[in-house]
Amino acid sequence: NAGVTQTPKFQVLKTGQSMTLQCAQDMNHNSMYWYRQDPGMGLRLIYYSASEGTTDKGEVPNGYNVSRLNKREFSLRLESAAPSQTSVYFCASSPQSGNNYGYTFGSGTRLTVV
Amino acid sequence: KNEVEQSPQNLTAQEGEFITINCSYSVGISALHWLQQHPGGGIVSLFMLSSGKKKHGRLIATINIQEKHSSLHITASHPRDSAVYICAVDNTDKLIFGTGTRLQVFP
C-alpha cells in the first residue's frame, strides 16, 4: 500500500530558484494538505484542498502556490525560493475535510534554500 | 501561549519502563490525534480519539474532554519506540499541532 507519496525526498535550491513538490495518494481521499515543519514549532498548514477542484490558504501561504491536478495529486510550488522556506514539507490526505477523519502523511521533503 | 501544549519536551527512559506523554489544549475540539515521527522519517498516525481510551498493542491513549487533556502511555518501552510523538487537535476543519515530545529509550 503506497498511501501518500512525496517527491523529491531531498532538495537544495539557490535563492530565487523555483521548484514543485509533488504529492500523490492512492486511497481515493477527497482532501489533501501541505504542511511545513520547522524546529521548535508544530506543523503549520500552508494550503489545503478540501476536494478536487478547490484549494484554500492555510496559516502560512505566502511564497507558495498549489495545484490540485486531479483527485490523486496535489502539488506545491515555490516560485522564487527564499532561505526562510528551508523546512521539511509534509503532504497529507484524509477521506473528507472537517472533523473526525483520520489523516495519512507522506514521508516528507527536506528542502534547503541557500 | 500555544493552543496545544505537550510535556515533557524531551524524555529518556530505560527499556521496559512505563512512559507517559501529556497533551493539553485550550481550544474546542472534535477529536485529538497522536502521531509518531521517527528520525528522518515520515509521520504515522497512532490514534484518533474523541472520548475515553484507546489501546493498540503496548500503546494506550486517553482523553479527558472536560479537562482538555490527553495522555499517551507506552508500556514495556523498547528502543524501537524512540521517536517524536506529536499531539494534534481537530479544530474547525483544521489540525493544530503540538511541538512534539522527543522520546529516547535506551537498552
> Given this model, what pLDDT does residue B42 score?
87
Identify the pLDDT of residue A100.
66
What's the angle, vertex CA B13, arms to CA B55 and CA B80, rounded to 5?
60
Cell reading at B24: 493539553
- Chain A residues touching chain B at CB-CB below 8 Å: 40-45, 48, 58, 90, 92, 97-100, 102-108
Q: Which of B41, B45, B99 sits opposite A42 (nearest CB)?
A: B99
Which residues on adjacent β-strands are paired with residue A105? A92
Q: Return the closest-CA partner of residue B87 out of B12, B26, B27, B32.
A: B32
CA–CA distance from A89 to each of A7, A22, A111 (Å)? 10, 11, 7
What does each of the 114 residues of chain A score in pLDDT, given as a tens digit? Answer: 679 999 999 999 999 999 999 999 999 999 999 999 998 888 999 999 999 999 999 999 999 999 998 999 999 999 999 999 999 999 999 987 766 678 999 999 999 999
Reduce the DSSP state of residue A68 to 3 states and report it: strand
Q: Which amino acid is at A6?
A: Q
Cis peptide before A61 (omega within 30 of 0): no
Q: What is the pLDDT of residue B20?
A: 98
Distance from CA of A105 to the nearest CA of B (A): 6
Of A42, A99, A108, the CB nearest to B42: A108
Each of the 107 residues of chain B gets a pLDDT tens digit; together they read 689 999 999 999 999 999 999 999 999 998 999 999 988 778 999 999 999 999 999 999 999 999 999 999 999 999 999 999 999 998 877 889 999 999 999 99
Return the DSSP state at A73. Answer: B
